Chain A
Amino acid sequence: MYRYDEFDHRFVAERVTQFREQVARRLANEIDEEAFKPLRLMNGLYLQLHAYMLRVAIPYGTLSSRQMRALADIADTYDKGYGHFTTRQNIQFNWIKLADAPDLLDDLAKVEMHAIQTSGNCIRNVTADQFAGAAADEIDDPRIVSEAIRQWSTLHPEFSFLPRKFKIAVTAAPFDRAAIKVHDIGLRLSENDDGERGFEVVVGGGLGRTPRIGHVVRDFLPERHLLSYLEAILRVYNQLGRRDNLYKARIKILLDESGIAEFSRLVEAEWAELKDTAVDLPADELARIAAYFAPPAFEVLGDDDGVDAAARSNPGFAQWLRANVVRHKVQGYAIANVSLKPAGGIPGDATSAQMRAVADLAERYSFGEIRVAHEQNLVLPHVRRADLFALWQALDAAGMGDGNLGLIGDIIACPGLDYCGLATARSIPVAQAISERFASPARQHEIGPLSLNISGCINACGHHHVGNIGILGVEKRGEEFYQITLGGRADEAAALGELIGPALPADEVADAIEAVVETYLALRQPHEPFVETYARVGIDPFKERLYGQAAA
């Protein structure tokens, strides 16, 4: 895991001290809200419906057991005993008092964490494949370059006032688990035929009110030039991105307006000036960072792990094994996903007791490492297969044993109008109604892979555009209504969902989802996942089922 150097420690400590003084002046009314708001947002503190919310950065979704325990302590000391893991691999606390925020940030700094650049028009916390360092299909650990990007982008003086926020995601595997095509910049590390490494650079993806799948602006950027190339992209965006209209300020709109060819030309011209300057990391610095991500001391293990026998006698474990356990790059190990999606639960919420349980289990079974997935689940990346059954039993006892990863119960949902000041409708109750409707694990497994994503407003924090089934809450005549889209996906074949018809009232949504699923089950070919059946048959059969013959 990456450790702060002296500079990081000093900088974060100084920032907390500054913020403490700013908070004191605000509470004494020496500065007004207009002056103070940008200062608190720079430190991750938002005002939501019921209270202040603090968004804590979890760089590339990696946490140690020690950090997870600190988050649990923060939940108990400053909040109401729980936190919410977000679609950007971060955690949010919902009930923070302004006067407590500096002490909270001090506690975070003790475990090398902060809330800087979790808000504002800057380069936000970089996200990465949650299976980094463990995935059997990766070229290298994507966190190495993610950490380089984190260092480069943190307080980058030129990019502190961009036209709008800017999100970068990284994967080093052909199968995209980091949704790189719906980020401002998505990076995929690959290896060419000569064994050289480079990045596919995808620019201009994003969700929100103008959803876009990103464009490849470079097929193969030599690895060593990454930072100079990123700097060139950001420079073009910073100069030409629109500042006159909040809704047209993201880089995706710049690409829309300039065209990909012209945008690429501008970037290449900028890069020509930058690529042989000091922006790129020297190889020894990259090696220094890489050393922090050296694999843990894996043992040489055989095949005799007892997992199959345990699965035969325990259907709950068998379901968990099938859905939540992923192949590891090292023989005898597995990646264990921890579902934060119990039937009827709040997607992504974890109590302080659950956080401590995961911290303990990570220490016992996964070298003290935890990941946060953008699907709002947790991951223990390095578990001996022989320990899987014991791990599952402990998770199950803590209410985290659901074997529903990637199934319909594994719903992504933003906080929606139950918490969020921007939301137009609630998300969580809709997620709860659907996960209760499909509570049977056997039925979820029968339905098979299916992503269902819910957002409570057009800003799309719940990634509804790229859910196989997407749900968007809107306000219509003073009531909550929900639009349903089908066919979206967030992986390497990323696609935006298609609107199926007029929005439905809240109490009809679960029925409608069930009708969509039943339609799929009737039409699917053997082993055909929902999204492929949809691609084959199109929207009409679903439309007809939901809205009748006339609509299709």
Chain B
Amino acid sequence: MARQPKGPVAITGNRLDDGRVVYFTGSRWSDVASDAAIAQPTEADALLDRARAEAAKVIDPYAIEIAKDLPSRYREQLRAAGPSVRLDLGKQAGRP
């Protein structure tokens, strides 16, 4: 990572075939945010390296900071949920 994260991190990216947001579980990719493996700041780079090694079908994995089981940045909260103006769409809608 460009800088050492302050808190725990998860690894995310977009799935190659449909662009959907996915999270790295430590061994595979899941489209459920709560499946994400959480690493402490000192282990963030190692987790990202492992994710990249498994990223044949995922575009540009990167680390995001997590606080209280949620991504810290609102951008990542929107990615994890879907458009806030269309609650019937995206992950929040509970269908693919």
Contact = CB atoms under 8 A, between A and B. Distances in A.
B74 A478 contact: yes
A428 B84 CA distance: 9
Interface stretch (A93-101, A125-133, A241-249): A93-101
A432 interface: yes
A47 interface: yes
B70 to A, nearest CB: 13
A419 B59 CA distance: 17
Q: Chain B binding site: helix, strand, loop or mixed by DSSP?
A: loop
A98 B14 CA distance: 12
B7 interface: no
A418 B21 CA distance: 14
A51 B16 contact: no
B20 A50 contact: yes
Contacts of B16: 26-27, 33, 98
B5 interface: no
Interface string A420-437: 000000101100100000
Which 4 A/B pairs are nearest by Cβ-Cβ distance? A418-B83, A51-B19, A52-B19, A97-B18
Interface of A: 26-27, 29, 33, 47-52, 80, 95-99, 346, 417-419, 426, 428-429, 432, 478-480
Nearest to B21: A50
Nearest to A432: B85
Interface in B1-53: 14, 16-21
Contacts of B20: 50-51
B60 interface: yes
A27 B74 CA distance: 31
Contact of B19 (A27, A29, A47): A47
A322 B79 CA distance: 42
B83 A50 contact: yes
Given A51-B20, A418-B84, A479-B74, 14 more contacts: A29-B56, A29-B57, A33-B16, A47-B19, A47-B59, A49-B78, A51-B18, A80-B89, A95-B89, A97-B19, A98-B16, A98-B19, A418-B78, A429-B85
B59 A418 contact: no
B72 A419 contact: no
Given A27-B17, A426-B84, A50 B90 contact: yes
